[in-house]
Amino acid sequence: MSTDLDLVLRAPRAVTPAGETSCSVGVRGGRIAAVEPLDVPLRAEQVVELSADEVLLPGLVDAHVHVNEPGRTEWEGFASATRAAAAGGITSLVDMPLNSVPPTVDVEALRVKRKAADRQCFVDVAFWAGAVPGNLGALRSLHEAGVSGFKCFLLHSGVDEFQPLDPAGLEQAMAEIAAFDGLLIVHAEDDATIDAAPRPHGPRYSDFLASRPGTAEDTAIARVIDLARRTGCRAHVLHLSSGEALPLVRAARRDGIRLTVETCPHYLTFAAEEIPAGATQFKCCPPIRERDNRELLWQGLAEGTIDTVVSDHSPCTPELKRLDTGDFGAAWGGIASLQLGLPAVWTEARARGHSLVDVARWMATGPARQAGLAHKGRIAVGADADFCVLAPEESFVVDAARLHHRHALTPYAGRRLTGVVRGSWLRGRRLDIDEEPRGVLLTRGET
Ligand SMILES: [Zn+2]
């Protein structure tokens, strides 16, 4: 029996790859060194007993976060975003390549990004790069530099310095990425479909929704599937909102196409019918759709067609949300929710009969695998000792002012959620957001 452990967590309830169990988890040198039944004595310098109302989960991995630093640090930054993550039970996040300036589209920009992040992250951080017009020659070197994969848009991204790929550019990017077996992650909304839809304007949510029809997603996803079939490129659909696209995904998978799909807490929580006029804190692209569509997404998760749930945390300054006019056409599209993902998803998941085993698969194990973070996302020997301690029966009302991301604005404000994060552990040490940050910068595939 190991006697040289640094830490033992004794958990009457824990989620491991074997399911929900009671166990003792032994930690040595920041890694999990033992997972034993609770009655097997494990000795360590520090022993932590979880209480009967707590569950030990793997630290969550949020594979879709817009940190926006450097360049738009007044919107969000590494210190504030990773504080929010730590408070929300997220121990690793993967930063998106756009909204920061420069966008992460070549190795030099990645160096600038990593330098900006260095020594101010409270949780571990990995990076996505971008596939944009003109950077085909940079993709392989970015892959070799350890990015998790490449994000592209098929329509205007919202910022001019990150341009979309046209159909020919998309095919070239996928052929190149397939050549080194990388991963393309796609904002899948079709340009032409959205151009043909009415312009978004004014404070009525239904007008905004009509400007971003679900068929735009379905068309774009069909194009990605077609090119994945032709090029062999692994592809991932970001922030799926249209439940109507799920049959396409099912059929592609049946054909052996390597395609994964994520959705977000806001698509699983809110419904278009309930969004008040002028409430631009609910604006994101693709948009939150109707109640029936939300249930299709839940069905997609239940059957495994949707693999992961990630925040798509994309905040901005309060002014850019145009709350004064409530104009959905003029407001920035992006939802701030990083710290709330776990309670938001758990609140809705338990109401539909799902377990914390499901939630851990969607929010820890799945995103870690997708982003190539080999030692994250599970409570198993050899993995990093990253944990989230959740009180799953306790509830709270969201007070936006007490969240740690930069601006106190979120569509969850005032909402009662079930599941309180009591603490997080990063590589064997309890996370304290008032201490020095200890997060490190991760590279794909690192063991
Ligand atoms: Zn995003």
- Ligand 1 midpoint to CA 136 (Å): 21
Band of pLDDT at residue 151, cut at 50, 70 and 90: very high
Determine the 3-state secondary structure of 261 from DSSP.
strand
pLDDT at 397: 98
Torsion region of 373: left, alpha or beta (phi above 0 gives left; psi -120 to 50 gives alpha): beta
- Ligand 1 midpoint to CA 61 (Å): 15
Percent of the chain with pLDDT over 90: 91
The arithmetic mean of pLDDT across residues 363-368, rounded, is 98
DSSP 364: I
pLDDT at 3: 62
pLDDT at 259: 98
**150 CB contacts (<8 Å, ≥6 apart)?**
128, 129, 130, 131, 139, 142, 173, 177, 182, 183, 184, 185
Task: Pull the structure tokens for residue 269.
Answer: 């929580």
- What is the C-alpha separation between 342 and 431, in angstroms, rounded? 17
- Ligand 1 midpoint to CA 314 (Å): 6
- Ligand 1 midpoint to CA 125 (Å): 16
Q: What are phi and psi of 401, to 5 degrees?
A: -65, -20
Answer whether 20's CB lies under 8 Å from 355's CB. Answer: yes
In this predicted structure, the answer to whether residue 131 has a pLDDT above a threshold of 50 is yes
Q: What are phi and psi of 321, to 5 degrees?
A: -80, -10
pLDDT, averaged across the chain: 96
In this predicted structure, the answer to whether residue 382 has a pLDDT above a threshold of 90 is yes
- What is the C-alpha separation between 48 and 385, in angstroms, rounded? 14
SS3 content of the chain, % helix, strand, coil (to 5): 35, 25, 45
Give pLDDT tens digits for 277-304: 999 999 999 999 999 999 999 999 999 9
Out of 66-80, 206-220, 419-433, least confident range = 66-80
- Ligand 1 midpoint to CA 406 (Å): 17
Q: Which residue has the tokens 């301690």?
A: 389
- What is the C-alpha separation between 292 and 309, in angstroms, rounded? 19
- Ligand 1 midpoint to CA 151 (Å): 10
- Ligand 1 midpoint to CA 30 (Å): 31
- Ligand 1 midpoint to CA 311 (Å): 8
- Ligand 1 midpoint to CA 96 (Å): 7
In this predicted structure, the answer to whether residue 2 has a pLDDT above a threshold of 80 is no
End-to-end Cα, the chain, rounded Å: 25
Query: Within 10 A of 137 (CB to CB), how many other CB atoms are there?
Result: 9
- What is the C-alpha separation between 95 and 323, in angstroms, rounded? 27
The arithmetic mean of pLDDT across residues 54-66, rounded, is 98
Answer whether 418's CB lies under 8 Å from 395's CB. Answer: yes
> How many CA within 13 A on the CB side of residue 209?
20
- What is the C-alpha separation between 40 and 24, in angstroms, rounded? 8
- Ligand 1 midpoint to CA 354 (Å): 26
- What is the C-alpha separation between 391 and 395, in angstroms, rounded? 9
- Ligand 1 midpoint to CA 313 (Å): 7
- Ligand 1 midpoint to CA 284 (Å): 9
- Ligand 1 midpoint to CA 69 (Å): 14
- Ligand 1 midpoint to CA 256 (Å): 27
- Ligand 1 midpoint to CA 81 (Å): 14
Q: Which residue has the tokens 């992250």?
A: 121
Out of 52-61, 109-118, 323-332, least confident range = 323-332
Give pLDDT tens digits for 218-274: 999 999 999 999 999 999 999 999 999 999 999 999 999 999 999 999 999 999 999
Q: What are phi and psi of 109, to 5 degrees?
A: -65, -35
In this predicted structure, the answer to whether residue 120 has a pLDDT above a threshold of 90 is yes
- Ligand 1 midpoint to CA 186 (Å): 10
Q: Which residue has the tokens 């905040």?
A: 315
Task: Pull the structure tokens for residue 148.
Answer: 């998790």
- Ligand 1 midpoint to CA 95 (Å): 9
- Ligand 1 midpoint to CA 65 (Å): 7
- Ligand 1 midpoint to CA 240 (Å): 11
pLDDT at 316: 85
- Ligand 1 midpoint to CA 294 (Å): 19
Determine the 3-state secondary structure of 429 from DSSP.
strand
- Ligand 1 midpoint to CA 306 (Å): 17
The answer, as to whether pTM is greater than 0.85, is: yes
**226 CB contacts (<8 Å, ≥6 apart)?**
none
Question: Which residues have a beta carbon within 5 Å of ligand 1, which is an ion?
Answer: 312
| Alpha-carbon radius of gyration of the chain | 21
- Ligand 1 midpoint to CA 59 (Å): 21
Q: What are phi and psi of 152, to 5 degrees?
A: -135, 160
- Ligand 1 midpoint to CA 287 (Å): 12
Which uninterrupted H or E stretch holds 393?
Answer: strand 387-397
- Ligand 1 midpoint to CA 202 (Å): 24
- Ligand 1 midpoint to CA 181 (Å): 23
Answer whether 83's CB lies under 8 Å from 437's CB. Answer: no
The arithmetic mean of pLDDT across residues 37-56, rounded, is 96
Percent of the chain with pLDDT over 70: 99
